[in-house]
Amino acid sequence: MRSTGNWNPDWDTFAMLDAQWTEKFMAMGVAPMVSGVLDAKTVEFLAIAVDASCTHMYGPGVRRHIRRALELGATKEEINAVLQCVSVLGIHTMSLGAPILLEEIASHAKRNGTPR
């Protein structure tokens, strides 16, 4: 997770308390994503849903995964649909994810010179 830039610094405490458990937990969590069963864009959609969900609400992860989904060709409509699906868990999903989506769309368009 650290090597891919997906490490949440909040996990440092877990790793300090029990490095072996943390490694096993992380391996379990990433297994579906690295198995190749799902395409990269779908993996990013799932990561957006998890990070934006009301039980997680991890803004840096939402931003990173929206950015990556856009790089993989996702549309704002697809990403918005992901946020809408997970919003049934709590409206905060949209209040966190929607502004980040708009910011990242603008940034992506600026970097690539194309409107989204």
Euclidean distance between CA atoms 14 and 22, whole angstroms: 6
Lookup: tokens for 18: 């029990």
pLDDT value at residue 9 = 86
Mean pLDDT of 2-19: 85
Is 83 within 8 Å of 48 (Cβ atoms)? Answer: yes
Model confidence at 109: pLDDT above 90:
yes
Of 67 and 5, the structure prediction assigns the larger pLDDT to: 67
End-to-end alpha-carbon separation of the chain, Å?
30
* 49, burial (CB in 10 Å: exposed 0-12, middle 13-18, buried 19+): buried
Per-residue pLDDT tens digits for 44-96: 999 999 999 988 889 999 999 999 999 999 999 999 999 999 988 878 778 88
pLDDT value at residue 43 = 93
Residue 116: pLDDT band with limits 50, 70, 90:
low
Of 103 and 31, the structure prediction assigns the larger pLDDT to: 103
Model confidence at 113: pLDDT above 90:
no
Hey, what amino acid is at 114?
Answer: T
Alpha-helical runs (H) found in 37-91: 40-52, 59-71, 76-86
pLDDT value at residue 41 = 96
User: Mind listing the domains of the chain with CATH numbers?
Assistant: 39-116 (1.20.1290.10)
Is 93 within 8 Å of 54 (Cβ atoms)? Answer: yes
- What does pTM read for this prediction? 0.73
